[in-house]
Amino acid sequence: MKRAFLGELEELVLLTVAALQEQAYCASVTQTIEQQMARSISFPTVHVTLQRLEEKGFAISRMGGATAERGGRQKRLFTVTAAGQRALIECRAMRSQLWEQIPTQVLELWGA
């Protein structure tokens, strides 16, 4: 089976979608990344990344109900697909494997 490739930003956005569950739409993903990661990210950047994740088959979207706070407009809600779940699991495993290869002495020097 071909390994799925996620860039760092794609991984971060997809993880945020997974964490937000039913509340994952572009603005909530942007806000969560900024709050949780203390990282500034623009709304258009997240929007394009969500579209790319959909094109890759790692996320799907559906239109939510219209809300008064949005002037009657609907939110596009995102969900992680089975392929997206596999990609995230592979990323986690790869990162863990790389961390395990760092000698304990080095980690101790780093204070980790």
Domains in the chain, ordered, with CATH?
A: 8-110 (1.10.10.10)
Mean pLDDT lowest among 36-40, 54-58, 74-78, 98-102: 36-40
What pTM was computed for the model?
0.86
**Token pair 């939110």: residue:** 75
Say which amino acid occupies 43: F
Say which amino acid occupies 24: A
Query: In a 3-state reduction of DSSP, which class is residue 47?
Result: helix
Task: Find out whether 5 and 25 touch, Cβ atoms under 8 Å.
Answer: no
- Give the whole-angstrom CA distance, residue 56 versus residue 84: 9
Tens digit of each residue's pLDDT (9 = 90 or more) over 54-87:
999 999 999 987 777 767 788 999 999 999 999 9
Query: In a 3-state reduction of DSSP, which class is residue 66?
Result: strand
